[in-house]
Amino acid sequence: MLGKGVVGGGGGTKAPKPSFVSYVRPEEIHTNEKEVTEKEVTLHLLPGEQLLCEASTVLKYVQEDSCQRGIYGKLVCTDFKIAFLGDDDSALDNDETQFKNKVIGENDITLHCVDQIYGVFDEKKKTLFGQLKKYPEKLIIHCKDLRVFHFCLRYTKEEEVKRIVSGIIHHTQAPKLLKRLFLFSYAAAAQNHAATDPRNHTVMFDTLKDWCWELERTKGSVKYKAVSVNEGYKVCERLPAYFVVPTPLPEEDLSRFQGHGIPLWCWSCHNGCALLKMSALPKKEQDDGLSQMQKSFLDGIYKTIHRPPYEIVKTEDLSSNFLSLQDIQTAYSKFKQLFLIDNSTEFWDTDIKWFSLLESSSWLDIIRRCLKKAIEITECLEAQNMNVLLLEENASDLCCLVSSLVQVMMDPHCRTRIGFQSLVQKEWIMGGHSFLDRCNHLRQSDKEEVPVFLLFLDCVWQLVHQHPPAFDFTETYLTVLSDSLYIPIFSTFFFNSPHQKDNVGRESQDTQSKPLNLLTVWDWSVQFEPKAQMLLKNPLYVEKPKLDKGQRKGMRFKGPQGRGGRFSSWFSLFPASWTRTALSSGTAWPEHQRQLSLPLTQSKSSPKRGFFREETDHLIKNLLGKRISKLINSSDELHDNFREFYDSWHSKPTDYHGLLLPHIEGPEIKVWAQRYLRWIPEAQILGGGRAATVSKLLEMMEEVERLQEKIDARPHGQGALLAEAPLLLRGSARLSALFPFALLQRHPSKPVLPTSGWKALGDEEDLAKREDEFVDLGDV
């Protein structure tokens, strides 16, 4: 075992600075190396995966404070992942309670998931890139899923250190060609493996039939038509082969400016109004004749879709009147640093600045602005009966984000798992969102990297968190979907457009006897066993009741099938306000749990959340009132129609199969704890949090059903209520607040109030003057 300390020499002299030393003899270290080798777990390679380099006798540190404890093992790098093989991996494999991914292990990092690599030289942390003249004694890897790995290379052979460090840097940071992605190696090698259902009932929108089905589902076929003019991508490589446009629009107009300036249909509301999007015409230097031609073209397009009083269109220019991509990237770059914690000391040192750091990142405010924009558009469609046309330079970033949020709020089908996956296919994949560039998979330009899709998932999580019974899927589903952005065996998030994907497929078919079988992320059986997949389904989802045609009104499609809706009948036994509060707020947060929203004012629907007591209200106002007041959206900022629509909806009981609006006041927008805090042991609550709340609620509902079975004298063989709920949710005392990613993590032994910086704090007046210091007061 290794310890952190200073070796005392003769005469009591001391080393000039602390260093890592061994408390065992060299021959004992050699013996331990042999023992580790014998216990080592075999490296599991996927089809087409090749080992590139490896290093033995590597110590993977546990994130602790004073004692640098860890596990010996081997560090390897393949063309798919970085993996650590330790002697305790076999024990983890036998633990059936773990939520396992079949593709990526706990100590695996896909090459695309690596964010930054650091080396430690003489206790100094430096960023590693390019060719190194000196190699570090410690390697730190920050991942895009916010994991942090520490590897000690002090006891590794020098040649192996050079190979593994150089290999990791090269294969994670060097620019790549699209054809060199592991995606194609895996697809080519897996041709003879058992095929899975690539669609998994998700509508892929890669055929004309899919678009016609969606038009029929939303009753939009009266005013809009699906066209195939772009088959073979003859008109525009940016657009899908098939899409929907207004019926009066002549097809010859579609090819005039390579698909620019064409109103593309996204979705139709029950009242006949539609959500449209349009990419702007190129703003290049041009002569007056071309400029006049473009103006006449746009005037004609506008007259086609704007025909008052029958058809009224409101335009929303997202390029000029909304967020910029740079705003999003800058905010997330600051925000993610709050969770890339190297050790416990760093966690507690930043705890005193938690609120100011969270606010200065502006990430929560960006989420609020996105939700607010979606509500504004929803109000135009629902209340004002207006068509809405979204404008953006390429209509492939913010248009995808806003149009998807509007559909999640207005269309209950999009709140089922199949509906949500079909929505992502329609608006993001076929909508031409540049996943390859926005996720920087090829490492060719950091300037193009912007987490637009992650922002969308965070916005959806806010809705899931506030209205759990309205969604067929869980926050765990959203979390693993965000992780899947960086797993290059799925083609879903590794192309910039459908044309790019089809073009690669055609080229591979020319060089191979069989076409490549590119997997889609929607087949969850590739990543998870059936037991683990149950955690992606929401057992408290209120399924749509089956009604007669005369009762359907605006509801135009059948509810989700498969579970029989047994939960929905019992969910009605609990008051909506109680269940909403219980599921969104969870249990009381202990002293070490960070507040996950900015505590400014109390919202009308959620009285007094968080861990602040009445006695500290005046202290909070003095400390934070001036600094983060901009995050609260005052009534004066909202126009009258929006405020009336927003307040009116929130004053009524929630219809989980109707319109769904989020609360957007400052404290209601929270940090997505499961995704951002799951790897930090200090942020966990053992036996508490939302997972424990759901577990208790399920137990209550199970008991109610048992009693009902006795009353109805039903045969007991029909099964208990929790037959379909994950068994892992039983026994809430064993659950972590960040379940299922942190089931049985250690409980940090830290003081109630962090001592770092505490003595420097003065009285209340001094506290109010400090810009970046706030004491994390617990709920006692």
Confidence of residue 765 (pLDDT cuts 50, 70, 90): low
- Please, what is the angle between helix 498-511 and helix 182-189, to 10°? 50
CATH of domain 51-90+99-174: 2.30.29.30
Return the higher-pLDDT residue of 548 and 336.
336
Q: Distance between alpha carbon 205 and the CA centroid of its chain, in Å?
A: 23
Q: pLDDT tens for residues 616-646? A: 343 333 333 333 333 333 334 447 889 999 9
**Residue 33 in this model has a pLDDT that exceeds 60:** no
Which pLDDT does position 285 carry in this prediction? 57
User: Following DSSP, what letter does each residue of 615-647 receive, concatenated?
Assistant: GGHHHHHHHHTTTSGGGS--GGGS-HHHHHHHH
Mean pLDDT of 269-286: 86
Return the higher-pLDDT residue of 763 and 492.
492
Q: Where are the domains of the chain?
A: 51-90+99-174, 208-536
Which pLDDT does position 344 carry in this prediction? 84
Mean pLDDT of 164-183: 96
**Residue 315 in this model has a pLDDT that exceeds 90:** yes
Which pLDDT does position 421 carry in this prediction? 98
**One-letter identity of residue 575:** P
- Omega prior to 740 cis, within 30 of 0: yes
State the distance between the two ends of the chain, measured CA to CA, in whole angstroms: 39
Backbone angles phi, psi at 210, to 5 degrees: -60, -40
* Nearest-angstrom CA–CA distance, 75 and 325: 37
* Nearest-angstrom CA–CA distance, 752 and 114: 34
Mean pLDDT of 88-96: 50
Which pLDDT does position 517 carry in this prediction? 83
* Structural contact between residues 466 and 663, judged by C-beta atoms closer than 8 angstroms: yes
**Residue 165 in this model has a pLDDT that exceeds 90:** yes
**Residue 28 in this model has a pLDDT that exceeds 90:** no
Cite the DSSP H helix spans in 306-413: 325-336, 344-351, 354-361, 363-382, 398-410
Q: pLDDT tens for residues 555-579? A: 433 333 333 344 444 444 444 444 4
Mean pLDDT of 166-171: 97
Q: Pull the structure tokens for residue 489.
A: 């065996």
**Residue 494 in this model has a pLDDT that exceeds 70:** yes
Backbone angles phi, psi at 271, to 5 degrees: -90, 5
**One-letter identity of residue 9:** G
Mean pLDDT of 418-423: 98
Confidence of residue 343 (pLDDT cuts 50, 70, 90): confident
Which pLDDT does position 598 carry in this prediction? 73
Count CB neighbours of 35 within 10 A.
11
**Residue 5 in this model has a pLDDT that exceeds 50:** no
Which region among 111-120, 140-149, 264-273, 545-554 has the lowest average model confidence (pLDDT)? Answer: 545-554
Return the higher-pLDDT residue of 272 and 584.
272
Confidence of residue 714 (pLDDT cuts 50, 70, 90): low
C-alpha dist (Å) from residue 548 to 342, 557, 708:
58, 12, 26
The percent of residues above 70 in pLDDT, for the chain, comes to: 70
* Structural contact between residues 5 and 18, judged by C-beta atoms closer than 8 angstroms: yes
Confidence of residue 708 (pLDDT cuts 50, 70, 90): confident
480, 478, 475, 477: which is closest to 490 by C-alpha?
Answer: 480
**Regarding beta strands 2-5 and 387-392, do their DSSP bridges make them parallel or antiparallel, or are they unpaired?**
unpaired
Question: Which DSSP symbol is given to 41?
Answer: P
Question: Which DSSP symbol is given to 425?
Answer: I
Mean pLDDT of the chain: 79
Residue 281, SS3? coil
C-alpha dist (Å) from residue 10 to 7, 24, 161:
10, 19, 33
Which pLDDT does position 757 carry in this prediction? 44
**Residue 524 in this model has a pLDDT that exceeds 70:** yes
For 698, the enclosing helix (H) or strand (E) is helix 689-712
* Nearest-angstrom CA–CA distance, 164 and 52: 9
**Residue 290 in this model has a pLDDT that exceeds 80:** no
Q: Is the pTM of this model over 0.85?
A: no
Q: For residue 679, what are the β-bridge partners? A: none
Which region among 2-11, 56-65, 313-322, 553-562 has the lowest average model confidence (pLDDT)? Answer: 2-11
Q: pLDDT tens for residues 376-415? A: 999 999 999 999 999 999 999 999 999 999 999 999 999 9
Which pLDDT does position 520 carry in this prediction? 95
Return the higher-pLDDT residue of 174 and 558.
174
* Structural contact between residues 600 and 623, judged by C-beta atoms closer than 8 angstroms: no
Q: pLDDT tens for residues 177-189? A: 999 999 999 998 8
Q: pLDDT tens for residues 462-491? A: 999 999 999 999 999 999 999 999 999 999
Count CB neighbours of 216 within 10 A.
12
Confidence of residue 284 (pLDDT cuts 50, 70, 90): low
Q: What is the largest CA-CA distance in the chain?
A: 97
